[in-house]
Amino acid sequence: MAEIIPEDIKEDLAKACILHQRTAADHEKCLEFNKLMAELLGRLEDAGCYRTADRVMGILLDCNPKEGARCDNANRISDKMKKF
């Protein structure tokens, strides 16, 4: 059975996808993306969307913002974001 993700969460997931495209070389954007995904994780769990929450958790496990360094996992995270 497919999850019914609330529209506001869908919109923020789309925003996160666009945001991640800009993050690889911008530490501030990377932190913003990480924070947004962490907030979305809680909202998805509250909405009972556990499969999608698990996917977001997988992204957060790979997302480790480092100041002054290009993201080593940017391509892997981009691939996961495209699946949304």
The answer to whether position 61 is within a domain reads yes
The tokens describing 38, both together, are 């962490």
Cβ(68)–Cβ(27) below 8 Å: yes
Full-model pTM: 0.79
The answer to whether position 29 is within a domain reads yes
The answer to whether position 2 is within a domain reads no
Return the amino acid letter for 45.
Answer: E
pLDDT of res. 36: 93
Number of domains present in the structure of the chain: 1
Mean pLDDT of 6-35: 85
Q: What is the pLDDT of residues 35-77, one digit of tens each?
A: 999 999 999 999 999 999 999 999 999 887 777 666 777 778 8
pLDDT band, very low/low/confident/very high, at 79 (cuts 50, 70, 90): confident
Cα(68)–Cα(56) distance, integer angstroms: 25
Cα(2)–Cα(31) distance, integer angstroms: 31
pLDDT of res. 70: 66
Query: Domain range for residue 44?
Result: 7-82
